[in-house]
Structure 1
């Protein structure tokens, strides 16, 4: 009986670990990727290393370079979100650039 309880607990811990990893991968990791990239973009624009009108193009070039990587998938927007991307937001423009279908 004691062995069954131990096996049950081990099984539950494995299931919990897999579920936790999946949730982290889908939410927290995505937020961290977006947050750090947007911070770098804003610093580059604020320090005149990158013009605001170049941010969307940078997103397009980044998508071409990284193609279908996990990092790029964090930035993908649907067409409605692309259309609604704020012109004044470097992050929105970068994400819209990544998400646009290339020629």
Structure 2
């Protein structure tokens, strides 16, 4: 392999790696955080460690600690989604709490 092809291959590997990282952190990483957190919240409610009516408060308390982090940003909803959030969904109520300002 010539030096030019080797350098070109290295550049494309770096570009592909950066693009993959950006796509993962914007989509897959966000949904992995949400899925894991919602699973934990549902298990906590099912095992009566957290009352259903406290899930939104837990979101508000968590938001203060996760402000300006990737995990905190994953849970931010706009006002339209906050209004449409299901009151019977623990995950939705946690996300509403996380989106409170």
Instruction: Tell me the TM-score range normalised by the shorter chain.
Output: over 0.9
Q: Count matched residues.
A: 101
1:59 aligns with 2:59: yes
Q: Aligned runs of 1:17-32 on 2, under 5 Å?
A: 17-32=17-32
Equivalent residue, structure 1, for 2:5: 5
| Alignment partners' CA distance in 2, 1:22 and 1:41 | 28
Equivalent residue, structure 2, for 1:74: 74
Equivalent residue, structure 2, for 1:50: 50
* Runs of 4 or more consecutive aligned structure 1 residues displaced over 4 Å after TM superposition: none
**Is there any run of 5+ residues in structure 2 with no aligned partner, and where?**
none
Deviation at 1:73, TM superposition (A): 0.3
Deviation at 1:2, TM superposition (A): 1.8
Structure 1 length as normaliser, TM-score?
0.93
| Alignment partners' CA distance in 2, 1:64 and 1:15 | 35
1:40 aligns with 2:40: yes
Deviation at 1:65, TM superposition (A): 2.1
Structure 2 length as normaliser, TM-score?
0.94
Cα deviations by residue, 1:11-59 (Å, 9 ceiling, x for unpaired): 1111001001111111111111111110010011111111111100110
| Alignment partners' CA distance in 2, 1:55 and 1:72 | 16
| Alignment partners' CA distance in 2, 1:76 and 1:82 | 9
Deviation at 1:66, TM superposition (A): 2.2
